[in-house]
Structure 1
Amino acid sequence: MERKSTEGFGRCFLLACMLVFVLAASAATDNITPGRSIRDGEALVSSDETFELGFFSSPVNSTTRYLGIWYKVSPETVVWIANREAPLLDHFGVLNVTKEGSIILQDKKTDIIWSSNRTRTAENPVLQLLDSGNLIVKDGNDSGLANLLWQSFDYPCDTLLPGMKLGKSFITGTNWSLSSWKGLNDPAPGRFSALIDPEGFPQLVVRNGSAIFYRGGSWNGERFTGTPDLKQVESSNLFKFTFELNKNEVYYRGEPYPSFISRLVVNQSGFLRRLVRTKQSQSWIEIYFAPRDECDRYAVCGPYASCNTNNCACLDGFEPKYPAEWDHSKWSGGCVRKTELACQNSVFTKYNGLKLPDTSNSSFDASMSLKECQEKCSKNCSCIAYANSDIRNGGSGCLLWFGDLIDMRIYPDGGQDLYVRMANSTLGYLVASKNSSKKKRVAIIVIAVILVGLILGGLIVHLRWKKLRKQVEGGKDDMELPVFDLSTIVKATDNFSDDNKLGQGGFGPVYKGTLPEGQEIAVKRLSKSSGQGLEEFKNEVGLIAKLQHRNLVRLLGCSIPGDEKMLIYEYLPNKSLDYFIFGLILEPHFF
């Protein structure tokens, strides 16, 4: 009995040890060495758990399998794929690193589906997924990262991660460029690629096949000339971008930021997208994309023209090459000079706020000032234009153009100055054109001031009329006595006929009249020269009404048609009427 218990305990202990070994073996790791594999369903995880390498399907429920790297918090966001042109067709893929330091991806039949190249061998090769998302092969005896045998950052797919280079090595010939997916669920290389074109002065471009689809422009010390919208992003201090140009390489690179993750993607439609998210959030935020509008399309206006709000215009001193097409918004033919250049009789005209032209036909010298740049361009008859290559600290460096000026646009904020060679005879035209434009602006301003004055004057008159009308209407409402219509008074007095005139006072005539109901009245029609205002008239009528007593003729009401004022009294066939209307009591005080 005791022996069985001992055997049972030994078996349990052995099983527990095996379980611990299996769990330890299956625990997430960031590296493997020769003899260890990553099979479909297993993964490498970077030490800070930002990135994960493993197998995935695209589309999600398909049998096609790819070896890729994605964000652990966002598994659907794949940033790199090893076998994007040769998918596995089952779930039996295996990843190994050889003793020589090569990475191989094999299928169920052990056929090699994909492998890495290498420039040398290593004594103790290690395949490791770094916190940056870079999959590397290094020599385990070398603690640094300077002498890598291979790295995925040298072979980008559609995504540029912080720390990755976009550019070219002039020593090895390696191109660090992005290539879009072929389709939304097809990771194979698509039509669009994003790269730093090293021809002339290096610039950011997106190509559709071999044709330029979008040009971000050359680096001006702060950003690419065609991306002024990034000025706000850069000023936030959340991003730091580096552009390096030397005899060994040229590249653009974004630096990592600890509080969030970021990526630049070229999608299957050719758009560049900058997206960010915190490691705790559930979604990505797009902070920039290009092209943004029709003006961002490459060379949409043709040579010597600039685009502004989806509309093209020739530079001053140039005219449409094909006017008929230009009138129908077909701008690709661009513009030509109104006056041909004569090398020894030319000047330079300054254009402000531009996206600098395509720099593939340019040369540059970072050590020159703008004045030296002008002198150099002036001495070379093939030089068409010049500008500073760096806008920092007031500007420095020299860019010279030797061909047609293509792909310019106007930026209200963030554009640069460009100096274009013009025929000297054109200078007078440009000055006259500018003066004419200035005169037109002055004329427009004068006309605008006059119109505004007329509108304000009309508004003041209208408001005063409304106020007067309101006062009149308000006066009628405020009075305790009836207000008679003018038509009633006109009919009662037979249109103020002389036969009904009772007399004339210092402040107006008095007429006798008969109301429709037969009551006789005396109407005192106040003279306009009396100088009495409406408020004063209202107050005095109210006062007369309150003074109704036997010694005064009874006031029946008033009439206020337009700017006229009339008092309607009860008519008495005796002298008291004359006395009270023309006498000393009423006349001095009320009229």
Structure 2
Amino acid sequence: MGGKNRICSILHSPMSLLFNLLLLQCCTATNNITLDRPLSQEQVLTSPGQNFELGFFRPNNSSANQYVGIWYKNITPRTVVWIANREKPVTDSLASLTIGSDGNLKLVDGLHDTLWSSNVSAPSYGSVAVLSDDGNFALKDNISGDNLWQSFEHPSDTFLLGSSIGFNTKTGERRVMTSWKSDTDPSPGSFVVGLAQRSPPQAFIWKGSVPYWRSGEWDKTNFIGIQQLDSSYSSMFDLIEDIEQGTVYLISNPHNQSDFEKMIVSWMGPLKLTFWEDQRWNVEWEAPKNPCDVYGTCGPFGVCKASESPICRCLKGFVPKLDGEWRKGNWTGGCVRRTELLCEGNTSNEATDRGKADKFWKMDRMKLPDFSQYKNLDYPIPCQQWCLDNCSCKAYATIEGIGCLVWTGNLTDMQEFSFGGEAFFLRLAPSEFAHERLREKLIISLTTISCIITLALGILIYGLHRKRSQKISEETKISEDLELAAEIESSSEILPSYMLRSHLELEDTLELPIFDLNSILIATDNFSLDNKLGQGGFGPVYKGYLPDGKYVAVKRLSSTSGQGKEEFKNEVMLISKLQHRNLVRLFGYCSEKEERILIYEYMANKSLDKFLFDPTKRAELCWAMRFNIIQGVARGLVYLHRDSCLRVIHRDLKVSNILLDDKMNPKISDFGLARIFEGTQYLANTHRVVGTLGYMSPEYALTGMFSEKSDVFSFGVLLLEIVSGRKISTSYFKDQHLCLLSYAWQLWHESKEMELLDEALADSFSSSEVKRCIHVGLLCIQDYAEHRPSMSTVVSMLSSETELPQPKQPILFQSALKSDRSESNSIWSTGQITESVLEGR
């Protein structure tokens, strides 16, 4: 009894009670600060999932000054992503972060002087500051739970998933990222990243108040002046613009991102997108990356091209303003117009140019100049005509997703890309085209002379061999007629190989490396079976290792392939002109002896079907990955259909032709069956129907008619396969013999579309995104081409919450599809249909 009283007296001792309370507070993990529980210098807040910590720190342990910041918990060395008191460091040991009597979050020193505050209207009856797993530190109303203030709206030098930058024209708010002053000094530095108050919006890096780098205009999906950003870029950002509220904010999109991916502006200026892997921060993208990325390198009316030497040149019709400085490599003075425009009152060429008008010179693959002006023109007034009718207009461009852009002042910060970019039309006096007219006349003259010589030689040869020619047998004549008939039939297909070659030669050829056969034999260990990745209708595919340490995929034309030679020519000529983050990249080719070989970038995860239809691997494809793949393929098709220098119809889009890189980003492959359209052509017809059963649109399989909407149909099938994890050839509701398309429509019609979702996904999905994807897929597979959306509309549908139209029920086409091959061939009795079975690399 005495021992029990002794224990009770110890427990009730005031000092012991205080010790136990402090011990309890220190040993209990917390992620919030309240009025009664401030954060001292010895404590840290930890997010619930152990991703981030908040507390006091010394930069690189090299300073007596302390700062309150947020950093990754388990990454060494410490990586700070946000700082509260950048301008007023803590210099004493009694400072704390607390909730003040006015409800605000405050950093106070030992004398209770405020060094930093959230400075918002907060309820005095109670608020709480909470650190979340995404790295956001928020001050919340303790009653409603609403955010009163949050660090994501006040970024330091780092842009995390959930952060935002932008501006509010009504309140004057300017939300930017600001670099550190140096590597060890987190006070505000020289470089600022934000959005310029323009329409369309653009992102900038400013050095002080001077532009240092520019992103180009926002076209509703990305910034058009950025060429080399990785495929994750398009899915990483959204730009939210509210004209009524006067707000424009760039926010990070949560899909296909990791908590360990961030964008940071270095104290030396570059903006870098980095991710944590192999115990280090890896740079995925940065800007500026080369001298041409730096704002205004070549001055007004100068254009920069990083692959040339010197990198700067004047625009056509312009000459250096300061020729001496230009020759020294100082290009900032720019260029001046050589010949005045007619509309500006040019008198020197008045007699020569009377009755003429200024013309436009087209430039491709361009980063458009700064200070564009958007013109909301009513159809059918073209952008070119508006520019021609206004003498102040120096140039124009028509951009999908934006519309008509014009320039009336100096053309500054222009760059010519090696791929991508936009078409740009520069206004020039007609006399600037005299050289082009002379060149055209010279070409016509040389061509005429060449034709006359060729004709004379032909007549001579014909005369010498006339007697021999007359002895051609009737049998041979019949054979020639048959070959001619076949050639005529083949020529009805849109742009066969000889026309395709002619079309491509109109533009500058993209030089592809030619590999010799011996180097390929060494790279693949003499086409060793150990290096074989797969077997397709074109031929086998091997993994290769080049001397420079690069892995490649080597596709070898099979001698037994009936259409391999045409595929080979088509891919070499076509894909070399196409460069996009969601298209597989062609490194080179080999045509030696009887060998025809294509060398591609190596895709570490091979093709999508290796995951999607594998009972064990399908679970590795979480919903975020699948949604990213869907969006990536859609963006690739938009590029093919609308944004590339050619208008391309793929004609063989399917799961096995979607390759996955080491980050599971999708790339469309196999362009052997692709065709290009010219001008405004919408439909084409072929008597040789090629492709893969199940993915063909009704109009193509039954009549041979194909268009962009044929690819849209194939995309819809692909989308439903990705969502469901089921093949198009599989039957459902066997008593009703429904294929995947009809089954998906029936579930959607009964509001049971979630039953279509792959069971392997468990709970790792967003039901609203799944439903939207199924809805979009059903819109894409509608029977009539005119009912299907364009791919640019599909991209918009997938990325927004707008109301979607109602899809029509699929009827005759796919409902009888079976997995049995012979049965399928009997269904498609019109035309010759081949089934492509190319494997992914």
- Give the TM bin, normalised by the shorter chain: 0.5 to 0.7
- Change beyond 3 A, Cα 1:426–1:132: same
Q: 8 Å contact 2:178–2:193 — kept in the other structure?
A: yes
Q: 8 Å contact 1:99–1:125 — kept in the other structure?
A: no
Distance 1:434 1:369 in 2: 34
Picking from 365, 369, 373, the partner of 1:357 is: 369
Would you say 1:54 and 2:64 are equivalent positions?
no
Picking from 280, 283, 302, the partner of 1:283 is: 280
Distance 1:439 1:328 in 2: 41
Secondary structure of the structure 1 residue equivalent to 2:187: strand
Superposition map of 1:72-471 within 5 A? 72-74=73-75, 76-121=78-123, 123-143=125-145, 145=146, 148-234=147-233, 239-247=235-243, 248-256=246-254, 257=256, 259-277=258-276, 282-309=279-306, 311-343=311-343, 345-359=357-371, 362-365=372-375, 372-390=382-400, 396-432=402-438
Q: 8 Å contact 1:63–1:90 — kept in the other structure?
A: no
Deviates more, 1:363-372 or 1:70-79: 363-372
Distance 1:61 1:318 in 2: 54
Q: 8 Å contact 1:317–1:430 — kept in the other structure?
A: no
Other-structure match for 2:3: 5
Deviation (angstroms), 1:165: 1.2
Q: 8 Å contact 1:260–1:277 — kept in the other structure?
A: no
- Change beyond 3 A, Cα 1:133–1:109: same
> For each residue in 1:220-276, what CA deviation from the matched residue of structure 2 results, as whole angstroms up to 9, or x when unmatched?
3443233211154447xxx42112333121222222356442111111111111111
Q: 8 Å contact 2:46–2:52 — kept in the other structure?
A: yes
Q: Residue type matched to 2:242 in 1?
A: N
- Change beyond 3 A, Cα 1:61–1:336: closer
- Change beyond 3 A, Cα 1:417–1:34: same
Distance 1:294 1:336 in 2: 22
Deviation (angstroms), 1:406: 0.6
Distance 1:435 1:150 in 2: 70
Distance 1:370 1:5 in 2: 98
Distance 2:413 2:392 in 1: 19
Q: 8 Å contact 2:299–2:331 — kept in the other structure?
A: yes
* Alignment size in residue pairs: 426
Secondary structure of the structure 1 residue equivalent to 2:186: strand
Q: CA RMSD in A?
A: 3.0
Distance 1:99 1:178 in 2: 30
Deviation (angstroms), 1:21: 4.5
Distance 2:88 2:440 in 1: 62
Specify the structure having the higher radius of gyration (Cα).
1
5+ residue gaps, structure 1: 446-591
Q: Residue type matched to 1:228 in 2?
A: Q
- Change beyond 3 A, Cα 1:307–1:436: farther
Distance 1:370 1:157 in 2: 47
5+ residue gaps, structure 2: 345-356, 447-504, 506-841
Would you say 1:29 and 2:41 are equivalent positions?
no
Deviation (angstroms), 1:299: 0.8
Structure-1-length-normalised TM-score:
0.66
> For each residue in 1:46-75, what CA deviation from the matched residue of structure 2 results, as whole angstroms up to 9, or x when unmatched?
222222110001240432111111111236
Distance 2:445 2:51 in 1: 63
Distance 2:444 2:228 in 1: 31
Distance 1:164 1:364 in 2: 28
Choose between structure 1 and 2: higher helix proportion.
2
Q: 8 Å contact 1:316–1:430 — kept in the other structure?
A: no
Deviation (angstroms), 1:101: 2.1
- Percent identity of paired positions between Structure 1 and Structure 2: 35
Deviation (angstroms), 1:12: 7.0
Distance 1:7 1:61 in 2: 53
Other-structure match for 1:70: 71
Deviates more, 1:90-99 or 1:283-292: 90-99
Deviation (angstroms), 1:433: 6.1
Choose between structure 1 and 2: higher strand proportion.
1
Superposition map of 1:505-524 within 5 A? none
Distance 1:221 1:233 in 2: 16
Q: 8 Å contact 2:196–2:203 — kept in the other structure?
A: yes
Q: 8 Å contact 1:370–1:397 — kept in the other structure?
A: no
Deviation (angstroms), 1:199: 3.5
Q: Residue type matched to 2:390 in 1?
A: N
Secondary structure of the structure 2 residue equivalent to 1:149: strand
Distance 1:419 1:196 in 2: 26
- Change beyond 3 A, Cα 1:259–1:186: closer
> For each residue in 1:530-555, what CA deviation from the matched residue of structure 2 results, as whole angstroms up to 9, or x when unmatched?
xxxxxxxxxxxxxxxxxxxxxxxxxx
- Change beyond 3 A, Cα 1:351–1:368: farther
Distance 1:436 1:187 in 2: 65
Deviation (angstroms), 1:282: 2.5
> For each residue in 1:471-509, what CA deviation from the matched residue of structure 2 results, as whole angstroms up to 9, or x when unmatched?
xxxxxxxxxxxxxxxxxxxxxxxxxxxxxxxxxxxxxxx
- Change beyond 3 A, Cα 1:213–1:259: closer
Structure-2-length-normalised TM-score:
0.47
- Change beyond 3 A, Cα 1:417–1:368: farther
Q: 8 Å contact 1:65–1:91 — kept in the other structure?
A: no
- Change beyond 3 A, Cα 1:35–1:5: closer
Q: 8 Å contact 2:32–2:129 — kept in the other structure?
A: yes
Distance 2:313 2:331 in 1: 9
Distance 1:369 1:269 in 2: 47
- Change beyond 3 A, Cα 1:108–1:433: farther
Distance 2:56 2:387 in 1: 57
Other-structure match for 1:584: none
- Change beyond 3 A, Cα 1:206–1:409: same
Q: Residue type matched to 2:214 in 1?
A: R
Q: 8 Å contact 1:34–1:96 — kept in the other structure?
A: yes
Q: 8 Å contact 1:385–1:418 — kept in the other structure?
A: yes
